[in-house]
Amino acid sequence: MSTIKEVAQSAGVSVATVSRVINKDPAVRPATRDKVMNAIAQLSYTPNLLGRHLRQTRTNKILVLIPSISNQFYSKIIRAMEKVSEEQGYDVLVCMTHNDPRAERRYIDMLVTRVVDGIVFFSSSLSAAQMDELASGFPVVQCSEYIEGSNTDMVVIDDEKAAYDAVSWLLRRGHKRVAYMGSQVRYSSGIRRERGYRKAVTEAGGKADERFVFLDDYSYPGGGRMAGKYLECGSDRPSAIFCISDSMAIGCINRLISEGVDVPGKVSVMGFDDTSIAKVFCPAITTVSQPQSEIGRLAAELLIDRIRNGVHKASGGKLRKIILPHDLVIRNTTI
């Protein structure tokens, strides 16, 4: 690989001039520019960004940290982030933590060691203090998930209220009891949704029956397994199930149907996220939708603002916690 020095030599100018040409400095004579451009083409030279970034102390890249790409939910959000980022001249990198704190640490290091300019967190295993400390030195935004007690910019929905609304709706529709299917990994959103679930149940005069609070993972198979447990409960089981993801709901519904239990005839099932399959699935899934594009757009904007204006000065130093509205989408898996 050729360097700026070789180009300079080959063009018969100094490295400074080559750098000027690369950076489109108007103060270089057309004739010189041409010479340099030729040399660049000749040697098929591309600047080493490490050198540039080292000098400029910025990289124009942002990192998005998610647990896993196998969860469809992130797809639309990240797409929106990419749109904003592209407009603003930033590249978006995605890394997966698989809820492994060590992996997370390695990727956070990319920020701390200045390989990227900022991070969007979807769930983190940091403590509130650690997160706050990171955010005090680097541009950081929490998205969808957030660490309880932490103070950073964030874009979220009111998960507790969303779950409360969903479960309340089921109860109002005449279901006496509602089962809960959540995540074993205690994502903050999961905790809040469970809280909303319990609140709705309690307020309706019942109390949450621990036999009907199931935990597994976010996947289709996870939903299937929980449906299995649910079926083992015998005939006094609830007539409605609130799942905290669409994948769970689908895994669950398929299991129920294959065991001959009619959905929604015998059991109503509700999902969460309104991912692309929810509308297409048969029966179409009743679910809680989040404004995914809006979430992604805002998160990217907040982050880039912090990057551009400095961690402490952006938005006058004030934190921004944006809570976006959720929405109940009634389809055909509930009566």
Partner DNA sequence: TGTCCGTATGTAATCGATTACATCGCGGAG
Partner DNA sequence: CTCCGCGATGTAATCGATTACATACGGACA
Cβ 172 to a copy of itself shortest distance, Å: 28
Q: What is the dihedral of CA 91, 324, 65, 74, to 10 degrees?
A: -90
Can you point out the beta strands (E) in the chain?
Answer: 61-66, 91-96, 118-121, 140-143, 153-157, 178-183, 213-216, 240-243, 268-270, 287-289, 321-324, 327-329
Cβ 323 to a copy of itself shortest distance, Å: 26
Within residues 18-57, the interface with DNA by CB under 7 A covers 19-20, 22-23, 27-29, 31-32, 45-48, 50-52, 54-57
- Cβ 288 vs Cβ 326: under 8 Å: yes
Cβ 269 to a copy of itself shortest distance, Å: 13
Length of the chain counted residue by residue:
335
Q: Which is nearer to DNA, 39 or 250 (CB)?
A: 39
Task: Please select the residue that binds DNA; options are 10, 13, 197, 275, rule is CB under 7 A.
Answer: 13
For position 3 contacting DNA by CB under 7 A, the verdict is yes
Residue type for position 117: D
> Which residues are at the interface with a copy of itself (CB under 8 A)?
1, 46-51, 53-54, 59, 61, 68-70, 72, 74-76, 78-79, 82, 86, 91-96, 98, 103, 106-107, 109-110, 112-115, 137, 219-221, 223-224, 247, 250-251, 253-255, 257-258, 276-277, 279-282
Extract the tokens encoding 191.
């905790």
Give the neighbor-by-neighbor strand order of the sheet with 178-183: 213-216, 178-183, 240-243, 268-270
User: What's the Cα-to-Cα distance from 192 to each of 188, 322, 325, rounded to whole Å?
Assistant: 6, 17, 15
Q: Which is nearer to a copy of itself, 61 or 175 (CB)?
A: 61
Chain residues in the site for DNA (CB under 7 A): 1, 3-5, 12-17, 19-20, 22-23, 27-29, 31-32, 45-48, 50-52, 54-57
